[in-house]
Amino acid sequence: MSKGDYANKGIHTRLAHIGNDPREFFGFVNPPVVHASTVLFPDAATMAARTQKYTYGTRGTPTTDALSSAIDTLEGSAGTILVPSGLAAVTIPLLAFLSAGDHVLIVDSVYHPTRNFADTMLKRLGVEVDYYDPLVGAGITALMKPNTKVVFTESPGSNTFEMQDIPAIAREAKARGAVVMMDNTWATPLYFRPLDHGVDISIHAATKYPAGHSDVLLGTVSANEACWKRLQETHFTMGCCAAPDDVYQVLRGLRTMGVRLERHEENALDVARWLEGQQGVARVLHPGLESFPGHDIWKRDFSGASGIFSIVLSGGGEREAHAFLDALEIFGLGYSWGGYESLAVHVFLGDRTVAKGDYQGPVIRLQIGLENPEDIKADLARGLAAAAG
């Protein structure tokens, strides 16, 4: 079966077969990990014409092609670049589509390092930066200026999980000539396909669920036909290519991402529902819960939920948050998510300018891993008891 035929197959079939074609490498199931800088040319004319498929390590190898092509199948994109981290997957497309004098609109519930990049580097390069309410929807129109070139979205929002009306925002922003980008790390392309909803560029920290084992950093950026050339040229210009071993690890991770995600989703929803009934928990911020304000949008647009959400403790401050975290035995205290293990972090929301929220206690973000849910719940009960004490 040719690779193209898998586009219409079930998601687990796709994940098992997309990317490399074993027939191209003597039947070996997995592609080679090509460590490369120099590529040789057969003669001077071919070298001058640069017509051969591979020309230099920074411009692609059979290993990077395997992962890029797998992501294209999942995203429905015209092309995908691979970069050394999720953060680079945010910064490279912003640099590709913004110039001095342009204006960018960024969702206020954005991943903090994205904001930091905008507030430091983009501003230094002469780009005007504004933040907007994640619940703005079609109201984005009122915020757009004649020089608005990019509208940056992330849904659900980092740490507080606000759901954006992506189709409405994309429609309005594109009607006014802006490129729409989305950090889609939370859902992965399995649970949301941004390009199908009008987004031009889909961004992933493949560090999370695609890699899945807390040991690899990688980013992917997928573009539609209209944006692909410019994105690819910027990638080449920046020399920001991913390392072959990391690319291989992510391709390996993709093969099991579907089954891992199903378990993350099941465990996280089970734990989130249980937390809703626990003393000491004021709110559970999980888009898959009927009680969550953005639930309708999630249900309309997404086909699943991953394993990360937040809880709001019913009172207290840093002391209670630290007591909660320090009592946990299974949960690790660490940044990042998408690995097989549970993690917790006390969330900082002091950078928000619009979506400040009204939380009655500390917000704790939980990444629910693949452990048994009853052990996860017992651990969280320990944390809640410590916070109450």
The least distance separating ligand PLP from the CB of residue 205, rounded to whole angstroms, comes to 3
Give residues with Cβ within 8 angstroms of 93, minimum separation 6: 181, 201, 203, 221, 223, 231, 234
Could you say whether residue 205 binds ligand PLP (CB under 6 A)? yes
The least distance separating ligand PLP from the CB of residue 208, rounded to whole angstroms, comes to 7
| Residue 144 or 250 with smaller CB distance to ligand PLP | 250
- Site stretch for ligand PLP (CB under 6 A), options 8-16, 85-93, 236-244, 319-327: 85-93
- Stretch 123-152: interaction string toward ligand PLP, x if CB under 6 A: ------------------------------
Say how far apart CA 47 and CA 70 lie, in whole Å.
Answer: 29
* Residue located via tokens 């659900």: 156
Size of site (CB under 6 A) for ligand PLP: 14
- The pair phi, psi for residue 350, each rounded to 5°, is -70, -10
- Site stretch for ligand PLP (CB under 6 A), options 2-10, 83-91, 272-280, 341-349: 83-91
Could you say whether residue 64 binds ligand PLP (CB under 6 A)? no
Taking CA atoms, 325 is separated from 110, 291, 313, 347, in Å, by: 24, 25, 12, 12
| Residue 202 or 314 with smaller CB distance to ligand PLP | 202
- Stretch 288-307: interaction string toward ligand PLP, x if CB under 6 A: --------------------
Could you say whether residue 63 binds ligand PLP (CB under 6 A)? no
Kindly report the length of the chain: 389
| Residue 170 or 345 with smaller CB distance to ligand PLP | 345
Residues forming beta bridges with residue 344, ordered by sequence position: 333, 366
SS3 41: coil
What residues between 324 and 363 interact with ligand PLP by CB under 6 A?
336
Say how far apart CA 226 and CA 249 lie, in whole Å.
Answer: 30
Could you say whether residue 117 binds ligand PLP (CB under 6 A)? no
| Residue 246 or 320 with smaller CB distance to ligand PLP | 246
| Residue 148 or 207 with smaller CB distance to ligand PLP | 207
Could you say whether residue 85 binds ligand PLP (CB under 6 A)? yes
Could you say whether residue 86 binds ligand PLP (CB under 6 A)? yes
Could you say whether residue 160 binds ligand PLP (CB under 6 A)? no
The least distance separating ligand PLP from the CB of residue 308, rounded to whole angstroms, comes to 8
In this structure, how many other beta carbons lie within 10 angstroms of the beta carbon of residue 252?
Answer: 16
The least distance separating ligand PLP from the CB of residue 91, rounded to whole angstroms, comes to 10
The least distance separating ligand PLP from the CB of residue 188, rounded to whole angstroms, comes to 11
Q: Among 336, 78, 115, 100, which residue's Cα sits nearest to residue 221? A: 78
| Residue 148 or 202 with smaller CB distance to ligand PLP | 202
Could you say whether residue 19 binds ligand PLP (CB under 6 A)? no
Among 61, 148, 185, 202, which residue interacts with ligand PLP (rule: CB under 6 A)? 185
Say how far apart CA 346 and CA 53 lie, in whole Å.
Answer: 48
Q: Which residue of this chain has its Cβ atom nearest to ligand PLP in the complex? A: 86
Say how far apart CA 333 and CA 342 lie, in whole Å.
Answer: 9
Q: Among 93, 331, 58, which residue's Cα sits nearest to residue 194? A: 93
Q: Among 366, 152, 195, which residue's Cα sits nearest to residue 275? A: 366
Could you say whether residue 158 binds ligand PLP (CB under 6 A)? yes
Write the DSSP assignment of 194-251 as a string of letters. Answer: GGGGT-SEEEEETTTTTT-SS----EEEEE-HHHHHHHHHHHHHHT-PPPHHHHHHHH
- The pair phi, psi for residue 255, each rounded to 5°, is -60, -30
Among 65, 75, 183, 320, which residue interacts with ligand PLP (rule: CB under 6 A)? 183
Residues making contact with ligand PLP (CB under 6 A):
85-87, 90, 111, 154, 158, 183, 185, 205, 207, 217, 219, 336
